[in-house]
Structure 1
C-alpha cells in the first residue's frame, strides 16, 4: 500500500521528464533525493543541536562532531534508502532479498568510507563549512551509489 502510494506520487511528477530520462532514473532521483535531503537535514540537526559542534569522547577514541553526525544521520537513512531502492526504484530486480541487502550493506560500507575520506578532505584539508562539505560529498557519493546499485546491488539477472 505504501509502495503503491509512493509510486503513484513519483510517477505523477515523472510525465514532464518522460522524454529526457527513463522512469527508473527519475524514481532513483526522487527517492535518492528525498533520502539525501533527509540525510543532510539529520546531519545538520545532529551536528548543530545534538552534538553542539563538539568532539564526541568515547572510551578509547575521540570523534569530531562532523564525523559523528555523519554516522548518526546514516543510522536513519540506511534502512530508508534500502527499502526505497528495493521496493520503489529497482523493484524489477530478481535477486533474492538477502543478497540485495548484503550487497547494499557492502555498497553502504564503501560509501561510508568515501563519505569519511571526502569529509576529511573537504572539512579538514580544504576548510569548507561542514554542511557544505557534506553536500559536496553527497553529490559524489550519490553518483557512485546509483551506478553501483543499478549494475550490482539490484541488477536483473538474465534468465537463460
Structure 2
C-alpha cells in the first residue's frame, strides 16, 4: 500500500508542476481532472487503436451466438483496462475530498461510466456505421462528448462533497 500511495503522490506532484500557467483559467480540481482524464483517455485511444488494428485485425469477433463488430470489440477491450485506472485517478487525485464510502463511490463511478459507455456505443455506431467515418477519429469525437458528461457526473454525483451545515 505504501507504494500505491507513493505513486499517487508522485502523479499528483507531476500534475501540479504543470498547473501554474493554467491557474488563471481553471481551478486546481478541474486541471487535475483534465490531466488524469486526459492521460487515461490517451491510453484508451492508444489501446483502442492497437486492439482494433493489430489484435483484432479489423475483423468481426464471432462469439458463436453473437457477432461483435471490430470497433465495438476494441472499445470493450480498452475499456476493461482504463475503467479501473480511471476510478483510481479520479478518487485519489481529481476528487480526493469526497468522504463517501469507497464502494458507494465505485458504484456511482460505475453508473457514470455506464452512461459514458452508452454514449460511446451510440456515437460509435452512428459515426462509423451510419455516417461511414473512420473508426479512430470517430472514437476521438465520441470521447469528447463522453468527457463532458463524465466530468459533470463525477463532480456532482460520484465524488460529490457534502458541505456540513
Query: Same fold by TM-score, threshold 0.5 exceeded?
Result: yes
Paired with 1:60 and 1:106, the residues of 2 have a C-alpha distance of: 27
Which deviates more from structure 2 when the two are superposed, residues 109-118 or residues 80-89?
Answer: 109-118
Q: Extract unaligned runs of 5+ from structure 2.
A: 1-5
Indicate conservation of the 8 Å contact 1:95/1:157, yes or no.
no
Offset of 1:91 from its aligned partner? Answer: 0.4
Count of aligned positions: 160
Residue 37 of structure 2: aligned partner? 32
1:84 matched to 2:89? The reply is yes
1:66-77 map, 5 Å? 66-77=71-82
Residue 117 of structure 2: aligned partner? 112
Provide the secondary structure at the position in 2 that maps to 1:33.
helix
Residue 121 of structure 1: aligned partner? 126
Paired with 2:24 and 2:142, the residues of 1 have a C-alpha distance of: 30
Residue 155 of structure 1: aligned partner? 160
Paired with 1:112 and 1:72, the residues of 2 have a C-alpha distance of: 12
TM-score norm. by structure 2 comes to 0.95
Offset of 1:83 from its aligned partner? Answer: 0.2
TM-score norm. by structure 1 comes to 0.98
Indicate conservation of the 8 Å contact 1:104/1:153, yes or no.
yes
1:130 matched to 2:135? The reply is yes
Paired with 1:3 and 1:159, the residues of 2 have a C-alpha distance of: 28
Q: Extract unaligned runs of 5+ from structure 1.
A: none
Provide the secondary structure at the position in 2 that maps to 1:6.
helix
Residue 20 of structure 1: aligned partner? 25
CA RMSD of aligned residues (A): 0.6
Offset of 1:3 from its aligned partner? Answer: 1.2
Offset of 1:88 from its aligned partner? Answer: 0.4
Residue 145 of structure 1: aligned partner? 150
Provide the secondary structure at the position in 1 that maps to 2:57.
coil
Residue 65 of structure 1: aligned partner? 70
Once superposed, which parts of structure 1, at least 4 consecutive aligned residues long, lie more than 6 Å away? Answer: none
